[in-house]
Amino acid sequence: MDLVVDYPAENVAFIGLFMMDKALQGKGAGSRIVSECAYFLKRNGYKKLRLAIDKGNPQSKAFWLKNGFAFTGEEYPNGEFSYLPMERIL
């Protein structure tokens, strides 16, 4: 997990990259990491956890929705990709 604190604002953390080994996918390890990260951030005064997904990645969308994230309503086109910000209130 690539985590940037106080970005894009104070008391907000941003997950820049989150990858799991194929052998661990679907076993709850990713959700556990996200849950522990959110708990740690909340205990340390953070209010939101944000990230952006590739609009064309349904697996990513399902994972983050399952882990309490919601779309912000923003969209950022970048060439052939489009990024959708999501956030979880801590």
Answer CATH for 2-89 from 3.80.30.20, 3.40.630.30, 3.40.50.700, 3.20.20.70: 3.40.630.30
- pLDDT band for position 6 (50/70/90)? very high
Beta strands in 1-90 (DSSP E): 2-5, 12-17, 48-54, 70-71, 76-78, 81-89
Q: Which long-range contacts (CB under 8 A, 24 or more apart) does 63-70 make?
A: 63/30, 63/31, 66/31, 67/31, 67/34, 67/35, 68/38
pTM: 0.91
Task: Show me where the domains of the chain are located.
Answer: 2-89
- Confidence band of 30 (pLDDT split at 50, 70, 90): very high
